[in-house]
Amino acid sequence: MCQFCRMAVSRSGYASQFIDRDVNAFKFDDIGCMVRFVRDHNRMRSVAAFFVMDYNDKSWLAAEEATYVKSEKTASPMGSGLTAFRDESRGQEFAAKLNGQVLHFGDLWTGDAAEPPRVPAKAR
């Protein structure tokens, strides 16, 4: 179950997790959920390691080593639009295909990279 949104982690290509210094694992169904949880709960200093699932081969890798793509066309579980890739060239191909933005780990913590796209209010 996702620590942030409480949904089942059912689509492994978007999963992420971190291990804290007390060796507790915190699992997430969407990379954006992990980032928002850490930010909202001020957990950055207590994290020992971050991991994300490679979108292509569904294997874990250190989050700092991944290349990320943010695209409104990516149907990630909670709508952050974030996808992780072990191979940077695959991430770039994916970004080009979906008109996405290539990001790196540090970019996830700045601005609104982890937030779902804002849906404009209907005209009244």
CA distance 73 to 99: 8
Q: What is the pLDDT of residue 120?
A: 43
Q: Which of 44-48, 66-70, 73-77 has the lowest mean pLDDT?
A: 73-77
Mean pLDDT score of the chain: 90
Residue 119: pLDDT band by 50, 70, 90 thresholds?
very low
pLDDT at residue 106 is higher than 90: yes
Amino acid present at 52: V
CA distance 81 to 95: 11
Residue 118: pLDDT band by 50, 70, 90 thresholds?
low
Tell me the two tokens of residue 118: 């804002």
Q: Where are the domains of the chain?
A: 12-109
Angle ∠(121,72,14) on CA atoms, nearest 5: 125
